[in-house]
Amino acid sequence: MTEEMKINNSILRVSKDDITMLEVDCFVYYAQSNLKLGSGFGGAITLRGGQSIQKELDSMDPINVTQAVITEAGNLKAKRIIHANGPKFQEEDLERKLSDTILNVLKLADKEGLETIAFPPMGTGFYGIPLDVSASVTLKTIKDYLNGQTGIKEVTLSVIDRREFEPYHNRLLALS
Amino acid sequence: MPAIKERSHKAQKVLERFEKKLNRQIVGSLVACVHCGMCTQSCHYVLANPGDPTYAPAYKGDQIRKIFKRHFDWTGRVLPFWVKAKSVYTDEQLEELKDVVFGKCTNCRRCTINCPMGVDLATFNRMARGLLVSVGVMPEGVAVVSKDQWELGNQMGVLKEDYIDTLEWMEEEMQMELDDPQAKIPIDKKDCDVYYSINPREVKYDPRTIADAAKIFYAAKENWTMASEGWDMTNFGLFSGDDDLGGSVAVRLYEKVEELNARKLVISECGHGYRSTRCEGQNWGKKDVNFTMESSVITMLDYVKSGRIQIDAGKNDKIYTYHDSCNFARSCGMYEEPRELLKLVVNDFREMYPNRSENYCCTGGGGAMSMSEYSQRRLKSAKVKADQLKATGANVVVTSCHNCVDGLNDLIKHYKLGMEVTQLVNLVAEALVLEPRVAPEEIPAAPEAVPGADGLKGKKILVTDDEPDFLTFISTVLEDNEAEVIKASSGDEALKLAESEQPDLITLDLSMPGRSGIEVFETLRKNSKTQNIPVCIITGRPEMRKLIYDRPVPPPEGYVDKPADEDDIVLNIRKVLKAGHEKS
């Protein structure tokens, strides 16, 4: 399950993968403000990447909604992890916050000179943002960013099943 | 004129979603209660707290009902004071509602069976849980488990490589036991008659149930498979009230069955897993399926009755009783089949009273085992269950539910009943009479040597437990398997011996006086001299699992529930040592 398109000089792709297993310059973890990795992908990051990632996060201050920080990726195949505190659970002004979060991730990746980046379906699932809202906001924000000046060459939307794949895939096709 | 109260954002969102969740079944239950009190004595929480009316099902229902009346029923809109209608305004009120819907009800539905008006409290209690979850108000354990299942595809956060490794390990064990290299646990095999789905608890804490099922399929010469993905048949959406999670989990499983073109989905013994997958998943996921779904109880019963497997009930020579799981029995009607199978594989069965639809919950249902903040309340409410178990005179309680296994083990330890808990799959596997194998003409190459496969010879193991009987038991088991055993009866002693003796493995009890097992574990991990020694937790406190896995140090390599039998202990320790060997 993969679909991709070219935007300016970059590739935007939707793919079914385990994001914590990807060999990319960085992937995004949908973080909490206290930067505790917790369960889900956070648990996989800890188990596969080692304790050093949480230790690095522990040395940082809590972050506000829309902010993002970057760490090393321990034993994972990715080089770095961007921890982005996106909106959660029907929070107010959700779409703007989600867009700002994604924008902050992309800016941080550019600042760090990272060329390949993977996003999970931002805020969906446990945090309850509807898939179609997340797909629409995420892909529009990324497309607009890639149309500007950027060193990012590849952006992958990494989903885990068909249910997640379809809205992102449909939205990607609608962008072209 | 009184000031208009301002409503919090979360409270507003709860009300907006409440309206969308209303259907005939829920509205019927919300309006039908006449407060007759028939439900009161049916609830295990009430029986344990007779002086506290807040545990009464009708009262608990009223905490949701008053909001419904205030906003969605004309009586409450017109005459709120008359019908006790009341809205919700603050986040604190949502927290209070959380304490009721998560902490005072296991959604067991015993009150439903006893309600003359047909009020199904569990259904709208579950709905209320879902409303709170949608605004992020939930016990921490519910959040942890839900996030695992959303993002990793199973509710215990088992990684794919660990799952596959466990299946391969169980396959090796089975091949050794049966002396047949052709005994397999197939993965992702297409066009099979049976697709076997399991509970992640089996991978993480009880892999013997997987091996036992595999042995039964082997004996039945079944054309079967397990799957590399979409293997978890549990569904925390049933407990959290999140229909989106429920649908997502169920559809992942259904789609994998379709991808492999299996004819029948067999669901291992799990009450809520069976209900979610077989009865609710298609509605939540809005998906029809074209294959059969059945409980492994039915599969095993068919094998025995048709003569496809041979059984010697004399091999199970204890006294057994049966506990009906709320979801498997009361919600899905599986009363007689497990009893029929049980009577075929044991000789001494004693019925528990009351039973079937009137049986009491194990008190760990509805996700209660994941909510450690309510443990004391749960164990207090388990008194009636303990009395039921004790009255049977049995020394083994059998149940077709993994959740009940944990709930029962916990209350058995708490009330010092000294009983074992097991499942039908274990008893059927134990009673199997296998045909003598005809040796193939060509002898296959010997498998690669596995350390510990022939015992634990040469391994130095530090056993830590404050209970002298259990310390002696584990030590004896390990010594019988040729291990060199060092004993520690306290956390401090364990820390000293770990550093000085440098054992190959440490077994650790969690609840010890003084320095607790959790503290000892963290200290071991932080000490450079002991941090690489594998640790196998052996505990009778399943609710402490989350605490140990939440420590800011690498998790333990093994985990065994008490009461543990000899096989469980040896199997798990061999697994840990084998994993350590492969890593090195």
pLDDT tens digit sequence for B224-266: 999 999 999 999 999 999 999 999 999 999 999 999 999 999 9
- Residue B439: what pLDDT? 62
A120 contacts on B by Cβ (under 8 Å): 151
Q: How far is B199 from chain A (nearest CA, A)?
A: 17
Neighbours of B140 (CB within 10 A): 14
Mean pLDDT in residue range B503-519: 86
Question: Residue B197 pairs with which residues in a beta bridge?
Answer: B267
- Residue B569: what pLDDT? 84
pLDDT tens digit sequence for B37-52: 999 999 999 999 999 9
Beta-carbon separation of B255 and A160 below 8 A: no
Sign of CA dihedral A102, A104, A110, A116: negative
| Neighbour-count burial of B552, counting CB atoms closer than 10 A to its CB (0-12 exposed, 13-18 middle, 19+ buried) | middle
DSSP string, B474-522: HHHHHHHTT-EEEEESSHHHHHHHHHHH--SEEEE-S--SSS-HHHHHH
Mean pLDDT in residue range B55-68: 98
- Residue B195: what pLDDT? 98
* CATH code for the structural domain at B460-583: 3.40.50.2300
In angstroms, rounded to a whole number, what is the distance separating the alpha carbons of residues B277 and B284? 10
- Residue B451: what pLDDT? 44
DSSP assignment letter at B83: T
- Residue B299: what pLDDT? 98
Please give the C-alpha separations between residue B535 and each of B453, B507, B527, in angstroms, as whole numbers. Answer: 19, 6, 14
Question: What are the E-state strand segments in B326-437?
Answer: 349-350, 396-399, 420-422, 432-433
- Residue B570: what pLDDT? 85
In angstroms, rounded to a whole number, what is the distance separating the alpha carbons of residues B285 and B89? 32
- Residue B544: what pLDDT? 67
Q: How far is B553 from chain A (nearest CA, A)?
A: 7
In angstroms, rounded to a whole number, what is the distance separating the alpha carbons of residues B559 and B206? 9
Answer whether B9-138 and B460-583 agree in fold: no
Q: How far is A52 from chain B (nearest CA, A)?
A: 10
Within 13 Å and on the Cβ side, how many CA atoms surround B378? 29
Of A37-46, B180-189, B367-376, B534-543, the poorest mean pLDDT is in B534-543
pTM: 0.84
- Residue B43: what pLDDT? 98
pLDDT tens digit sequence for A155-164: 999 999 999 9
Asked if residue B571 has pLDDT above 90, the reply is: no
B555 contacts on A by Cβ (under 8 Å): 47
What's the CA angle centered on B371, arms B369 and B373, to 5 degrees? 125
In angstroms, rounded to a whole number, what is the distance separating the alpha carbons of residues A160 and A145? 25
In angstroms, rounded to a whole number, what is the distance separating the alpha carbons of residues B421 and B195? 26
- The tokens for B366 are 């509805």
In angstroms, rounded to a whole number, what is the distance separating the alpha carbons of residues B238 and B130? 9
- Residue B447: what pLDDT? 44
* CATH code for the structural domain at B9-138: 1.10.1060
B147 contacts on A by Cβ (under 8 Å): 38-40, 42, 125-126
Closest CA to A65 of A30, A108, A40, A110: A30
**Residue B239 Rama label (left phi>0; alpha psi -120 to 50; beta):** alpha
Mean pLDDT in residue range B175-202: 97
Residue-averaged pLDDT of chain A? 97
Q: How far is B454 from chain A (nearest CA, A)?
A: 30
Please give the C-alpha separations between residue B13 and each of A96, B17, B93, B291, in angstroms, as whole numbers. Answer: 18, 6, 14, 39
- Residue B450: what pLDDT? 42
pLDDT tens digit sequence for A135-154: 999 999 999 999 999 999 99
Task: Please check whether the domain covering B310-433 is classified as CATH 1.10.150.
Answer: no
Q: How confident is the model at residue B543 (pLDDT cuts 50, 70, 90)?
A: low
pLDDT tens digit sequence for B362-392: 999 999 999 999 999 999 999 999 999 999 9
Of B58-62, B455-459, B536-540, B580-584, the poorest mean pLDDT is in B580-584
DSSP string, B411-472: HHHHTT---EEE-HHHHHHHHEEPPPPPPPSSPPPPPPP-TTTT--TT-EEEEE-S-HHHHH
ipTM confidence score:
0.98
- Residue B443: what pLDDT? 45
Q: How confident is the model at residue B560 (pLDDT cuts 50, 70, 90)?
A: confident
- Residue B555: what pLDDT? 81
Domains of chain A: 2-175 (3.40.220.10)
Shortest CA distance from B525: residue in chain A: A51
Asked if residue B5 has pLDDT above 90, the reply is: no
What ranges do the domains of chain B cover? 9-138, 149-153+160-305, 310-433, 460-583
Residue B105 · residue B56 · CB < 8 Å: no
Closest CB to B552: pick one of A39, A44, A51: A51
In angstroms, rounded to a whole number, what is the distance separating the alpha carbons of residues B463 and B564? 14
Q: How confident is the model at residue B111 (pLDDT cuts 50, 70, 90)?
A: very high
Question: Residue B537 pairs with which residues in a beta bridge?
Answer: B508, B559
In angstroms, rounded to a whole number, what is the distance separating the alpha carbons of residues B526 and B552? 10
Beta-carbon separation of A40 and B159 below 8 A: no
Mean pLDDT in residue range B533-559: 76
B146 contacts on A by Cβ (under 8 Å): 126
Closest CA to B560 of B89, B204, B180: B204
A91 contacts on B by Cβ (under 8 Å): 9
Asked if residue B446 has pLDDT above 50, the reply is: no
In angstroms, rounded to a whole number, what is the distance separating the alpha carbons of residues B485 and B530? 17
